[in-house]
A and B are shown apart, each in its own frame.
Chain A
């Protein structure tokens, strides 16, 4: 074998060895890098510009950017999970600032934000949705229901349900809910009147039955209120609870039909609340 040929073979072998070592090194480097990433904290850094800035620099592509941020927000929720104090509200704010006519983000934010951010965030976005999509009954309806379910805030629940009720295509169930929330908020007379109107005007048999059942319960509440006033006349203060009314002889037992509700009597004002 000539020396030049031997050199050539050695050179090729060295080259091959270099190739193998380099390949092994970059694969190892990737594994080491991945393990570094795995040890990092779970909280992912998210860069989110403010909705005003994104709107300002969208240059005629607002819908496109709104879609991009919408997809990004879904990916964010899917990868990060439903976490408290996450960036959900900021994402939905950007999407609806860029495209205020995009209804779906308002609905999703009404479902998620009251639980995973604050109901004020959901309200802020919903107010925008109500302004830009006046035909949507779902936006105020979802928020109203969330005010009831999450916050037990019947005044705001009523406020948004009344907006939803006025929208075209609003289902009749909203009227029933309005009546229910009116009773729960303590305005028993108005609630009864709403249920009576619902019973007399509804074409749906089930709705009429539900309204009738509520009117019966309201009558019980009215009896309770009368008993509470009598209690005050005798003892000079309102009863602490329903058991006090039973002990004083104003009630024989807890009225039938109210077993599933928590009845509370405010000892200062005598206000009867049903939850």
Chain B
């Protein structure tokens, strides 16, 4: 089983690495990091902050774009090229395909994150002169990576369900809703209608609350979440990931190729 998952993961990794979009996205992220050098100089003595904010945003955007543009194609490409029809008759569980794809794309994103982070840290180091604040920045990137692992599963779920364009749209929608959870919470707190309040509360807990993975705003000022808070973030990601995996597995098994 391990070998089968590994084989699918390696294949998904190679497949995604061959995608030209990947390098366009990487270039875009590096462009944002580089542009922070210029924008920092016109920011009225706030160069360090601008470079860090832009760098963290660029790395996060890189992860999201890869998921949206590459992840949404993962299953569809296999169907389109009919390579799926060669895999499915073999004694491979469809759940293994999902895990393999998730691992493959996760590795691609990890590699791209490491690469762009290295460039980001070099720039911060050169501008800052010391590596003192690297820890919190690295933590923010790592927590962002956990979010992207969760979003890969969302992407695979939609990729198994519909066309790449729609899968991209749905993944972006989940991303946007996930980062607007504070709005839902405000509605819950202010809504006097009990039925509406319950309905919104239901949505609040059902949709992924992705804003908890966003510690980028705080680490710039040296505010690092407590260890307990970080543990709950990981627990949430793992539990939500399992739910998405089960949903993807059910959809995948029911789907006729």
Contact = CB atoms under 8 A, between A and B. Distances in A.
4 closest A-B pairs by CB: A60-B179, A64-B57, A59-B179, A63-B53
A26 interface: no
Nearest to B147: A60
B257 interface: no
A56 B223 CA distance: 22
A92 B44 CA distance: 14
Interface of A: 56, 59-64, 66-67, 70-71, 74-75, 99, 101-102, 104, 108
B179 A104 contact: no
Given A61-B60, A63-B53, 14 more contacts: A56-B180, A60-B210, A63-B57, A64-B54, A67-B50, A67-B53, A67-B54, A71-B42, A71-B50, A75-B42, A101-B220, A101-B221, A102-B49, A104-B45
A70 B46 contact: yes
A56 B175 CA distance: 14
Contacts of A61: 57, 60
A188 to B, nearest CB: 41
Interface stretch (B79-87, B191-199, B211-219, B244-252): B211-219
Contacts of B50: 67, 71
Contacts of B53: 63-64, 66-67
A62 B183 CA distance: 14
Contact of A62 (B42, B49, B217): B217
A56 B57 CA distance: 17
Contacts of B54: 64, 67
B43 A71 contact: yes
B63 to A, nearest CB: 12
B28 to A, nearest CB: 14
Contacts of B180: 56, 59
A97 to B, nearest CB: 12
Given A56-B180, A56-B183, A71-B39, A63 B217 contact: yes
Interface residues of B, number: 27
B182 to A, nearest CB: 9
Contacts of B221: 101
10 contacts: A56-B183, A59-B175, A59-B176, A63-B217, A67-B53, A67-B54, A71-B43, A71-B50, A74-B42, A101-B220
A72 to B, nearest CB: 10
Contacts of A108: 44
A102 B223 CA distance: 13
A59 B178 CA distance: 8
A147 B165 CA distance: 57
A252 B161 CA distance: 98
Contacts of B49: 67, 102
Contacts of B214: 60
A18 B176 CA distance: 51
Contacts of A74: 42-44
Contacts of A60: 60, 179, 210-211, 214, 216
A63 B210 contact: no
Interface in B113-131: none
Interface string B6-21: 0000000000000000
Given A59-B176, A63-B57, A104 B211 contact: no
A63 B44 contact: no
Nearest to B57: A64
B116 to A, nearest CB: 15
B44 to A, nearest CB: 5
Nearest to B36: A67
Contacts of A67: 39, 43, 46, 49-50, 53-54
Contacts of B46: 67, 70, 104
A104 B47 CA distance: 12
A108 B45 CA distance: 12
Nearest to B177: A59
A149 to B, nearest CB: 22
